[in-house]
Structure formats: C-alpha cells, structure tokens
Amino acid sequence: MILITPHLSLAEATTTSTGFDNTPTAQHLANIKLLSEKVFEPLRVLVGNKPIKLNSVYRSAKVNKAVGGSTTSQHSKGEAMDLCATNMTNAKLGRLIMDNLEFDQLIFEMPINKEPKWIHVSYSAKNNRKQVLIFTNGKYIPFKDSLIH
C-alpha cells in the first residue's frame, strides 16, 4: 500500500466506481499531499484519531464528468475531499474544520434535518478563502448557523 500521509493511501485518494482511469499527475499528488497534511491529518487529531470516511478525493476529468462534478471542481486538481464522520455527526465534523483549520472552501452538502450528507473541504497552496457554504436545493448558499446542527 502506498501512503500519501499516515492516514491517506493513494488507493483511497483515487478510488472510483466509474471504470475510468483516475491516475493523478505529480502535481495532483503534490496537491493531495498538501490537502492531507493541512486538513485531513490535523482533522484526524481533532476527532481523537478515529477514522474518517473518504467519499472522494482526486477525480480525473473523465471521472469528474461521469459523477456530475463541476468543470471547475477542486477535486480535479487534487485540492478537495468529501468526508463523512464515523464517530460524530457530519455537522460536528464540519464545525471542527471551520473552527480549527485553514481551508479554501468548506461545504455542508445537502443537509436533511440540519445534518449534512457529507462535508466537502478544499485546500489550495495559494489564497485559501475560508469560504463556508451550504449546498441545498441545488444551489450554494452562505453558511447560516441555524441551518446546520
């Protein structure tokens, strides 16, 4: 098994069910490593070193198109990951990121009864905006505390 960082393997970062090649370039790998070092590994510490489920990290252009991703998706640059908590709510996981870590974009995805289905987080080597959004009803809205647990 090839590890990118202590808790992220290359296989986890590139897994896809689309059947398309999802091999990252050297630059994509560098971005994935930076994302993991700056967000994923510190987040593991914040959750008491419990596992965090990765739904998606890197997506090649073909994979991204097949899953309906945005043409400007940071996943295609290796700068984003979609996460689910294993020992707390996704809302709490997102709040840990929001309150404790540097990031570019944090999205509470498709909440039902104020609980997001997953958390999208991105990190860029340059210009991290600390933008926090909620994706609901097919659109992105600014984060409002009252909309998430």
Report pLDDT digits (tens) over 103-149: 999 999 999 999 999 999 999 999 999 999 999 999 999 999 999 98
Which pLDDT score is estimated for 149? 87
Q: Cβ–Cβ contacts within 10 Å for residue 77, how many?
A: 18
Would the pTM of this model clear 0.85, i.e. be above it? yes
Domain carrying residue 93: 3-147
Tokens 């008491």 found at: 48
What is the total count of domains within the chain?
1
By 3-state DSSP, what share of the chain in percent is helix, strand and coil, each rounded to 5?
35, 25, 40
Rounded to whole angstroms, the Cα distance separating 54 from 90 reads: 12
User: Which of the four pLDDT bands, split at 50, 70 and 90, describes residue 49?
Assistant: very high
Which pLDDT score is estimated for 109? 97
Which pLDDT score is estimated for 72? 94
Distance of CA 91 to the CA centre of its chain: 14
Q: How is residue 42 written in tokens?
A: 């510190």
What is the H or E stretch that residue 131 is in? strand 131-136
Q: Which domain CATH number covers 73?
A: 3.30.1380.10
